[in-house]
Structure 1
Amino acid sequence: MGVLAIVVSLALLMFFAYRGVTVLLLAPLMAAMAVVLSGEMALLLPFYTGTFMPALAGYAMNFLPIFLLGALFGRLMADSGAAHTLSTWIVRVVGQRHAVVVVVLACALLTYGGVSLFVVAFAVYPIAKDLFKTAQVPKRLIPASIALGSFTFTMTALPGTPAILNAIPIKYFGTNSFAAPGLGIIAALIMMLGGLWWLQSRVSVARNAAEGYGEHDDDDEALQEEGISTTEMPVWQALLPLLLVVGVNALFTYRVFPGMNLAFMTEAFPKLNTATSVGLWSLIIALAVACTTLVVMRLGHWSDLKSTVNKGVFGFMLPLFNTASEVGYGAVVASLAGFALIKNAVLNVSPHNPLISEAIAMNILAGITGSSSGGLSIALEALGADYLHMAEQAGISPELLHRVAVLAAGGMDTLPHCGAIITLLAICKLTHRQSYANIAAVTMLFPMTALVVVIALGSMFGSF
């Protein structure tokens, strides 16, 4: 009954999330259902106040600065015109004939630089629409092109990516955002080149069939609705904040903090674990420096800086608490008696190679929740310590554990009920039927291939 209770609650979580019910309400309700069905109704309130809420609060405490600064940076890039400037610059450099490549590269540059994938989708879509129409490439391929550049290799594979997904394992494994850089680059190349090959082959098929762009209503309002500025600025000014996010992060990760004696911190804060903190600190500093630099560079050019800052800060709350609620749900489920059977089954999938077990667990939970960060957070909250212990026994580097976890969470997360996919299709004014097959190919087929390759290489040669 304990296992059945957990399975039913997970199934209902996925069912209602697909239909648009907020996870803020779903997570505590489904956690309560799991407790009741497990026969522990008398402990329902203690589970809520003693397990769900502490887990939610702990996650928010650890990752609030990353969510806040990331949302603020994305809004600053959008309202300053930097996102639009970089997108149009890539069009000029690569050329309008290569519509798919231009869109993928524009999205990749912005997301790797720390801009929210939703801001990127709104900023790039109008440019993509014009490019595809001019090149007579079917509009139905725009969502897959944006997804390839935003939801795949820049989110899970490239070393140093400031995506929240890449920050989550730091707390559990004591790593940093540059974990296993060589393997990450290999995975990124598989995803990018495989995805581009797929999309270009679809373009060729469409051209042979004389499909063209297709008949679609004019939909220019998406740009105005999201408030993406079309102000032009020097390219170097638009590019500098993105370079600072990656460069400052690397500087503090590899030079500043390793060269400091941090003993004075543990004297003042005895419970502080610097090994699991410096990776997050480096990312926080990098985002703060990039935000400050962008604000100062554009002084005198902001239409309403106060409004921009307010919108950016307010924008972090829903993503943070959605994910934190899922972590609370995972903590409740992990504390139920029935979870011990599930946990043992998952951990014993490949007891001598925890990378395989970890990959399966992350994929399943990301797929169920429709969220890479939500699934990863639930899995690591419940199983992170076990995987770290198994990895130490097997002589596997925590950095390799980190990279595999992030890659796996970015595999099955884009099933049809994924909120990011639903939002992307809404921005492009297309349906699942028109575009989802190609989205699935570039966000699941090639990321899963990359994951298998990384596990194989990591098992043979270790982390590099």
Structure 2
Amino acid sequence: MGLLGILVGLGLLIWLAFRGWSVLLLAPIAATAAAFFSREPLLAHWTLTFMRGAAGFLAQFFPIFLLGALFGKLMEDTGSVSAIADFMTEKLGTKRAILAVVLGGAVVTYGGVSLFVAFFVIAPMADSLFRAAAIPRRLTPAAIMLGTATFTMSAMPGTPSIQNTIPKPFFGTTPFAAPGLGIIASAIMLAFGIWWLGRQQAAAHANGEGFGDGTLKTSSEIAKDDKLRERATASHEFDPAEIAHGEVAATRPTFAIAVAPIVVVVLVNVTLSLIVLPRFDLGFLSKPEWGGVSEAAVTGIWSVLTALTLSILTVILLNYRRIPDLRATMDAGVNASALPAISVASLVGFGGVVAALPAFDIVRTAVLGIGGGPLVSLAIATNTLAALTGSASGGLTIALDALGTTYLERAAQIGMDPALLHRVAVIGSGTLDSLPHNGAVVTLLSVCGCTHGSSYKDLFMVAIVGAIIALVVVIVVGSLVGSF
């Protein structure tokens, strides 16, 4: 009955979330259902197990959600993201339209701009370039997804994405965990995606297919779609309803000013992670008043927080006279972080209840018993949970909450670098999370004026197949030569 309860709770969560119900309501209901079938104390699991899991996630990661959403909104309203997109358009032009869209999305998201902010800026850029180059509109979502939600989210060393931040306290790693393997994975995802899209473009031209019909959706239109909003906020760190709030600057900055905050994010992250923080004496953290945490459990998060804070100050200082309403922009940015953070925390709370049930030992044994060593098992666990929840960050946290300590112990037994666990876990979370029910996928298709029927096959190839190929290569290479 206990295992049945886990399946019922998970099935209820997936089914109703796909129909647009709020995760804030579904997660405790699904957790209670799982506890009920397991004949476990219902109220105790709700108010203690569930809430402790959700609160623990917020305590660790809410600052990342907050600063990331604020930075993204500032970059949007100052016109900085649009200026970077314009630069890519000018330099690469219609002859390399697909590459321009992909690199435009990659630059802004690797620099810390929220995924949904990038969608609304890169989509008009792609629409204009693809129309001029007679590239089918149906390829637009795949090109945008390749640049914004694949290698810059999970593989590039130092990326400030929430997914790359989550494993740090579990494994004591930095944002630059396994940098060589991350670069290899990024190159594979990028090369495979560009090859596939180029192949599809050539086939379309050979068949006489042009740009096609359809219109982009505005941020205001997306913000009014409550069902879409519920899906979106559980999958990524920005509430689409806040996209339409604030006011965009009348003029755009130069490329140098626009890209400066992104450079700050990268440089500060590198400097703190690899040079400054490792030299600090942080022994006081082991004292009871600080929770007895290890230095490695917090320094990775601190480096990202500091990088985002300084980048926020940079974008404000460089664009202060151009921002129409700084308070409104900042209010929209911080408000955009609240619902996604609590939604993902609720998924984590659900995972905490499931992991606490006696029947979960069966699941744990089955997962850990998968052949191929801890890397294969970890990749399958993160893939599966990200797919079921439709959330890379939610699935990754649930997996590491339940099994992270066990994987770390197994890695120590065989002399495996925890950095390798970090990179495999993050890449694994960013593969099957892009199934059709994922909120980011649904939002992107809607923004581009496309449908699952017309565009999902290509999106599947660049966001899932390419990522799985990269994941397999990282596991094989990492198993043979270790982390580098």
Question: Under a length normalisation based on structure 2, what TM-score does the superposition of the two structures give?
Answer: 0.93
Alignment of 1:312 onto 2:310: no
Q: Is the 8 A contact 1:84 1:230 kept in 2?
A: no
Q: Shift in Å at residue 261 of structure 1?
A: 1.7
Q: What CA distance in whole angstroms lies between the structure 2 residues aligned with 1:34 and 1:73?
A: 38
Q: Which amino acid aligns with 1:244?
A: V
Q: For residue 33 of structure 2, what is the aligned residue in structure 1?
A: 33
Q: Is the 8 A contact 2:249 2:323 kept in 1?
A: no
Counterparts of 2:412 and 2:66, CA distance in 1 = 34
Q: Does 1:246 align with 2:266?
A: yes
Q: Distance in 2 between matches of 1:224 and 1:328?
A: 32
2:10 corresponds to: 10
Q: Does the alignment pair 1:371 with 2:391?
A: yes
**Aligned position for 2:292:** 271
Q: C-alpha displacement at 1:224, in angstroms?
A: 9.2
CA RMSD of aligned residues (A): 1.4
Residues 1:386 and 2:406 are matched in the alignment = yes
Match of 1:292 in 2: 313
1:430 is displaced (CA, Å) by: 1.3
Contact (CA 8 Å) 1:156, 1:410: kept in 2 or not? yes
Q: Which secondary structure does the structure 2 equivalent of 1:69 belong to?
A: helix
Paired residue type of 2:70? L
Structure 1: which amino acid aligns with 2:19?
Answer: R
Equivalent position to 2:373, from 330, 349, 353: 353
Which residues of 2 match residues 46-445 of structure 1 at below 5 A?
A: 46-216=44-214, 218-219=215-216, 221-222=218-219, 226-227=243-244, 231-266=251-286, 269=290, 271-350=292-371, 353-445=373-465
Name the CA shift for 1:65/1:462 in 2 (closer, same or farther; >3 Å).
same
CA distance in structure 2 between the aligned counterparts of 1:76 and 1:395, rounded to whole angstroms: 44
Cα distance per residue 1:37-90 (max 9 Å; x no partner) = 1222xx100111110001111110100110000000000000001000000001
> In structure 1, what residue type is equivalent to 2:63?
P
Cα distance in structure 1, aligned partners of 2:448 and 2:82: 17
Measure how far apart 1:263 and its partner are. 2.5
Equivalent pair of 1:194/1:446 in contact (CA under 8 Å): yes
Deviation at 1:383, TM superposition (A): 0.7
Whether the 8 Å CA contact 2:151–2:185 is kept in 1: the answer is: yes
What letter matches 1:64 in structure 2?
A: F
Residues in 2 aligned to 1:403 and 1:347: alpha-carbon distance in whole angstroms: 18
- Deviation for aligned residue 1:221: 3.6
Is the partner of 2:274 in helix, strand or coil? helix
The whole-number CA distance in structure 1 between the counterparts of 2:111 and 2:102 is: 14
1:122, 1:223 within 8 Å by CA — same for their partners in 2?
Answer: no
Change (3 A) 1:436 1:282: same
Count of aligned pairs between the two proteins: 460
| Alpha-carbon distance in 2 for matches of 1:457, 1:330 | 31
Shift of 1:20: 1.3
CA displacement at 1:319 relative to structure 2: 1.1
Calculate percent identity across the aligned residue pairs: 45
Secondary structure at the counterpart of residue 271 of structure 1: coil
Offset at 1:222?
Answer: 4.3
Note closer, same or farther for the CA distance 1:229–1:363 as it changes in structure 2 (3 Å cut).
farther
Q: Retained in 2: the 8 A contact 1:169–1:402?
A: yes
Change (3 A) 1:336 1:266: closer
Which runs of 5 or more residues in structure 2 are unaligned?
Answer: 223-242
1:271 CA drift (Å): 1.6
Task: Answer yes or no: is 1:446 the counterpart of 2:471.
Answer: no
Shift of residue 426, structure 1, vs aligned partner = 1.2
Distance 2:216 2:377 in 1: 45
Displacement, 1:229?
Answer: 5.1
Which string of whole-angstrom CA distances, capped at 9 and with x for unpartnered residues, describes residues 163-219 of structure 1? 000000001111011000000000000000000000010000000011100122x44
Q: Distance in 1 between matches of 2:188 and 2:22?
A: 34
Unaligned runs of 5+ in 1: none
For residues 307 and 360 of structure 1, do their structure 2 counterparts lie closer, same or farther at Cα, with a shift above 3 Å needed? same
Q: Residue 65 of structure 1 aligns to which amino acid in structure 2?
A: P
TM-score when normalising by structure 1: 0.97
Displacement of 1:127 after TM fit?
A: 1.2
Change (3 A) 1:239 1:8: same
Equivalent residue number for residue 24 of structure 2: 24
Ranges of 4+ aligned residues in structure 1 off by more than 3 Å: 218-230, 264-268
